[in-house]
Amino acid sequence: MILNATFLSAFAGAALILLLPERRAPLAKWIALLAALIGLGFAKTAFLIYDNSPAAPHFQFLTRIPWIPRLGISFSTGADGISLVMLLLAGIIAVAGVLFSWNVTHRPRAFFAFYLVIIGGVYGVFQSLDLFLLFVFYEIVIIPKYFLIAAWGSTNREYGAMKLTLYSAVGSALVLLALIATCAASGAHSFDLFTLADPSKSHFAPAFQSWAFPVMFIGFAVLAGLWPLHTWAPTGHVAAPTAVSMLLAGVVMKLGSYSALRVAMTLFPQGLEQWRTVLAVLATAGIVFGALVALAQKDLKFTVGYSSVAHMGFVLLGLMTLNLAGLGGSVLQMFSHGIIGGLLFAVVGRMLYDRTHTRDIAELGTMGLAKALPFAALTFTVASVASMGLPGFSGFIAEFTILKGSWISLPFFLVPAGLGIVITVAFTLRALQRTFYPSGESPAHAHVFDPISFPEKLGALLLMAATLAVGLFPSTLMDPILRSLQSPLMHRLLTEATK
Amino acid sequence: MTNLLLALAPESLLVLAALVVLGLGVSVPKARSLITAATLLGGFAAAAAILLLPVDGNFLHGMVVVDPVARMFKLVILGLGLVAVVFASDSFPEIHFAESLALILFGTVGMMLLTGTEDLLMIFIALELASIPLYILAAFAKEGRSSAEAGLKYFLIGSLSAAFLLYGLSLIYGVTGSTNLPIISNHSGIPDPLLIAGIVLTLAGFAFKVAAVPFQLWAPDVYEGAPTAVASLVASGSKVAGVFILAKILAIGLGPWAGSAGWGQFLPGWVPVLALMAAASVILGNLAALVQSNVKRLLAYSAIAHGGYLLIGLCSTGEDSLTAVLFYVVIYALTTAGAFGTVVIVEKQRGGSSLEDFDGLAKSSPVLALCLLVFLISLAGIPPFVGFFGKFYLFTAALANPALLWLVILAIAMNAVSLYYYLIVLKHAFVLPAKEDLRPANAPASRFLVAALALSVLALGLAPNLLLAPLAKNMPPQISARKVFLQ
């Protein structure tokens, strides 16, 4: 129940906001903040009371209610270490997103209601143990994204919103097809993840796996920004309002990679074996090309958008290593990039763009931002340093572990991935330096902007604290992740697929 | 005899109510609310008769057959008829108001009779009784040219298809010697060429009814031109009745000549014909809807696409496939009726149903806009609304024949396309600002009904079992057991 309370609080908050009368509309952000805090509270409590001792069951907080018995569908939720890390991420981003949306005054009720629906759907995906239920939550996220971007976004918003939504819809269509075929092929009359993943209860022929796996994996990976299906991400991120960019980069892309791991890879280890190299190539291409394109951007938000593609490439590469280090690093990278990506978009979209009304790196450089907005400069510097993978921040330990994993099982991919890290450092430093610390003389007349507001500082501190905490004490997250990767559900990945 | 009268009590009560309404129309033509109340009262009486007089049985050698599923569908159709009555009461002009409501009742009687028979003669008569009032109603907005065009087009193509159907039915009768569906299915042996001709002609007749490609040409013009309340009945009640009886004819009567539409394993029969029509409908409906600028016309193309999804379910021999088809047609009808209800109110407010007329709807009538979102997202097959589960169930059931995968892939791909045009409508309602500030139209009954339909679409989406469990439990054994005939 404690898990279900996360998405229930989000949906209840959304319903409550819709019931607000028009003159009470400014209350919407308070309700949203409250709902997000409650959700984070439940996620954090679940994380803290999760029993990670070796003898404890891997999946805890189980709820199981028959839902549509005729199709073997049940409302089945629960969490292992991987789910809990993702739930925690969703909670942190949800709260930070509301704080960075504190200045939304245009139709605030609709904005925060749609926002909370996304949050609820995300929480739901990370705890579903029934494939139908997981897909329901996964799909709930699609539509609100469209409205949030199309109605509250900026540059080219209607195009960006539609592009993003249609990419998501195509990905979902692939997943739906694979899901229906899976349930027809299993013969288990069940959508329960454990039943389907248990070879004694449902058997998927290798011929079936060899097409069902790529269809399902790619369907999910569209959302994770798999190259070359990633182009929705930069366009959508840039068009979106700040909170939605944060959600997209922070958690929605992780829905794709998490579901790919939890469902596609877990169910079809033999299919995975066949497609592993291809997918590793695509993941590495995402790292390298994402970073190279980011290097060429003039628009600061596009730089961050393409950096998301590069960082998600690491997540996907980690998944393809199929060893403990790589997979664990991949899950940690989902968390780490969620926080860092959210922080970068918060600075670019809220702290800078809302004040300067430009995202052009060269133009921003003329404004003396380091002096005018010192807190923004500090935040962006911390986020950049974390994003480059400097020790002490979460990004370092995650990417380092992924590289370690790929050294063991995918050594040929180490060189391009390492190259990707170098380019990442280059474009991050370039953006940081040109925006905040341009060479040459400081401008004669200093620009004056509204000071960074209290909610912004609070949100930024929350995210900075999260990335620093994980960087300094990675085992807090890594221990439950590593133990969960060896659970009966997941261990086939480490054994069967690498035979 | 008493039992037969009791079995026909709901229809009889509706006819009585229609006559009373006609009388009121002559004596007090201005008393709109009285006329509407009398119509609804007759409807409620018929609903009570369906619920309280469970006289199941087979009367007059299959002319009248009442079973739990038939009663469920009578109730659904009656409900959709009354929904159309309420929409009409909020939007129809003063002149001939009572007559229009009476015609809706007569049409509903025909659709209800259609669900309760296993005899070709009765099927044809009921079909005509359901269609002729709709032809008249489609032309009821007498001041507009498009309504007259809609009525004429509907009538001409409808009569042509009725001729096809009658010809087909007479050939089936000629070969098998019976008009009774179970007896027809006992006729074994190599299919006679005459019988094949009969089956194809029958399919063509019904393809018109459910607007399947290539017999869909009437649908966009009728949906757009007819008064919106009538379009809602054509799209919902008429579709439910048509799909129900088509499923019954195919499953019970024509089971032995099904054939197969599996990829690489085509066998002659009606299934391959149906599969081709399904594929064409899904493609054409969804692609043509992309470029529409009128919401009613867009809904017409969406109806063609949804007709295609339903035909896919009919192609499958899976145990659950007919249950899935019937489930889907009911929830589709509820959803599309709600969508048309939204159009009724918007038309009243803005005077048209083009996309621009929906601009800024979320600001002027937030609840209505939210309802529209529920209906269209459900039609696009996205949870938590019931359209998602409906499609999921339909496609899962269809894949009981794994060889039908090609149809399911096509349908899922085209369904992803459909999200685009539904979002375009919602973009006008939620994103674009209104050009002028308009007061919400005064249509309390329709508003209430639209909200209720939206809630039911949400409730069924969260708990599909509310409809699925009774439907699956009551499916007649001869329909579930039909797989023995096939392949």
Cross-chain residue pair A67–B408, CB shorter than 8 Å: no
Of A68, A151, A180, the CB nearest to B464: A68
pLDDT along chain A (499 residues), means of 10: 90 92 86 93 92 86 90 91 93 93 87 93 94 93 90 84 90 92 82 85 85 93 88 85 87 92 90 90 91 88 89 91 89 92 89 84 80 86 88 86 88 87 89 82 69 86 90 89 87 67
Cross-chain residue pair B431–A150, CB shorter than 8 Å: yes
- Which residues of A, range 36-75, sit inside 8 Å of B by Cβ? 67-71
Residue of A73, A143, A148 to mutate, testing the B interface (most B Cβ within 10 Å of its Cβ): A143
Gap between the Cα atoms of A81 and A56, Å rounded: 12
Gap between the Cα atoms of B141 and B149, Å rounded: 11
Task: Say what the pLDDT of residue B260 is.
Answer: 74
- Classify burial at B477, counting beta carbons within 10 Å of its beta carbon; exposed 0-12, middle 13-18, buried 19 or more: exposed
Residues of A in contact with B362 (CB under 8 A): 110
Residues in Cβ contact with B442 at an 8 Å cutoff, skipping those fewer than 6 apart? B348
Cross-chain residue pair B402–A184, CB shorter than 8 Å: yes
Of A18, A140, A180, the CB nearest to B399: A180
DSSP label at residue B249? I
Q: What chain A residue is nearest to B432 in terms of C-alpha separation?
A: A151
Is A175 within 8 Å of chain B by CB?
no
Gap between the Cα atoms of A171 and A188, Å rounded: 25
Best CA proximity match to B197, nearest among B170, B222, B219:
B170
CB B330 within 8 A of CB B337: no
Is A499 within 8 Å of chain B by CB?
no
Q: Give first-to-last CA distance, chain B, whole Å.
A: 41
Distance from CA of B367 to the nearest CA of A (A): 10
Cross-chain residue pair A147–B399, CB shorter than 8 Å: no
Of B409, B464, B465, the CB nearest to A177: B409
Hey, which bits of A7-96 come out as E strands?
60-68, 73-79
Gap between the Cα atoms of B467 and A395, Å rounded: 50
Cross-chain residue pair A110–B416, CB shorter than 8 Å: no
What is chain A's mean pLDDT, rounded? Answer: 88
DSSP label at residue A299? B
Residue B220: CB atoms within 10 A of its CB come to 23
Is A357 within 8 Å of chain B by CB?
no
Collapsed DSSP state (helix, strand, coil) of residue A64: strand
Taking the CA atoms of residue B256, residue B261, residue B262 and residue B267 in that order, the dihedral angle to the nearest 10 degrees is 60
Gap between the Cα atoms of B417 and A169, Å rounded: 8
Residue of A177, A182, A222 to mutate, testing the B interface (most B Cβ within 10 Å of its Cβ): A177
Which is it for the CA torsion B343, B346, B352, B355, positive or negative?
negative
- ipTM of this complex prediction, to 2 decimal places: 0.91
Residue with the two structure tokens 């404690």: A2
Gap between the Cα atoms of B286 and B412, Å rounded: 11
Residues of B in contact with A139 (CB under 8 A): 382-383, 388
Residues of B in contact with A170 (CB under 8 A): 416
CA distances from B199 to B168, B177, B188, B193 (A): 6, 15, 15, 10
CA distances from A120 to A90, A110, B238, B453 (A): 9, 15, 38, 24
Q: What chain B residue is nearest to A215 in terms of C-alpha separation?
A: B409
What residue spans define the domains of chain B? Answer: 258-487
Gap between the Cα atoms of B105 and B119, Å rounded: 23
CB A159 within 8 A of CB A190: no
A400-437 tens-digit pLDDT: 899 888 888 888 888 888 888 889 888 888 888 888 88
Q: What angle do CA B291, B336, B326 make, to 5 degrees?
A: 120
Residues of B in contact with A67 (CB under 8 A): 465
Amino acid at B322: L
Cross-chain residue pair B396–A71, CB shorter than 8 Å: yes
Predicted TM-score (pTM) of the model is: 0.93
Q: How many A-B residue pairs are in contact by the CB < 8 A criterion?
A: 77
Task: Say what the pLDDT of residue A155 is.
Answer: 76
Residues of A in contact with B263 (CB under 8 A): none
Q: What chain A residue is nearest to B409 in terms of C-alpha separation?
A: A177
Collapsed DSSP state (helix, strand, coil) of residue B353: coil
SS3 content of chain B, % helix, strand, coil (to 5): 75, 5, 20
Cross-chain residue pair A162–B409, CB shorter than 8 Å: no
CB B123 within 8 A of CB B117: yes
Q: What chain A residue is nearest to B396 in terms of C-alpha separation?
A: A180
Residues in Cβ contact with B303 at an 8 Å cutoff, skipping those fewer than 6 apart? B211, B219, B223, B235, B239, B285, B336
Residues of A in contact with B399 (CB under 8 A): 180-181, 184
Is A167 within 8 Å of chain B by CB?
no
Best CA proximity match to B318, nearest among A204, A135, A213, A183:
A183
DSSP symbols for B27-54: H-TT-HHHHHHHHHHHHHHHHHHHHH--
Distance from CA of A143 to the nearest CA of B (A): 8
Take residue B384 and report the two structure tokens written for it.
């938590």
β-partners of residue A73 are A68
Distance from CA of A48 to the nearest CA of B (A): 31
- Domains: count for chain A: 1
Cross-chain residue pair A110–B362, CB shorter than 8 Å: yes
Residues of A in contact with B472 (CB under 8 A): 70
CA distances from B74 to A483, B50, B264 (A): 57, 8, 40
Residue with the two structure tokens 């995300």: A122
B218-251 tens-digit pLDDT: 999 999 999 999 999 999 999 999 999 999 898 8
Of A71, A170, A181, the CB nearest to B393: A71
Distance from CA of A336 to the nearest CA of B (A): 30
Residue B400: CB atoms within 10 A of its CB come to 16
Cross-chain residue pair B396–A158, CB shorter than 8 Å: no
Is A308 within 8 Å of chain B by CB?
no
Residue of B321, B376, B379, B392 to mutate, testing the A interface (most A Cβ within 10 Å of its Cβ): B392
Of B383, B426, B469, the CB nearest to A136: B383
CB A124 within 8 A of CB A43: no
Is A25 within 8 Å of chain B by CB?
no
Task: Say what the pLDDT of residue B337 is.
Answer: 95
Residue B444: CB atoms within 10 A of its CB come to 9
| Regions of chain B with pLDDT less than 50 | 481, 483-487
Of A68, A140, A147, the CB nearest to B383: A140
Residues of A in contact with B405 (CB under 8 A): 181
Task: Say what the pLDDT of residue A24 is.
Answer: 85
Cross-chain residue pair A68–B416, CB shorter than 8 Å: no
Cross-chain residue pair B396–A183, CB shorter than 8 Å: yes
Which is it for the CA torsion A451, A454, A460, A465, positive or negative?
positive
Best CA proximity match to A391, nearest among A337, A311, A470:
A470
Q: What chain A residue is nearest to B393 in terms of C-alpha separation?
A: A71
Distance from CA of B57 to the nearest CA of A (A): 28
Distance from CA of A352 to the nearest CA of B (A): 25
Of A67, A110, A150, the CB nearest to B427: A150
Task: Say what the pLDDT of residue B375 is.
Answer: 96
Distance from CA of A161 to the nearest CA of B (A): 10
Of A69, A110, A139, the CB nearest to B383: A139
Gap between the Cα atoms of A274 and A209, Å rounded: 9
Residues of A in contact with B373 (CB under 8 A): 143
Q: Which domain holds residue A296?
A: 4-498
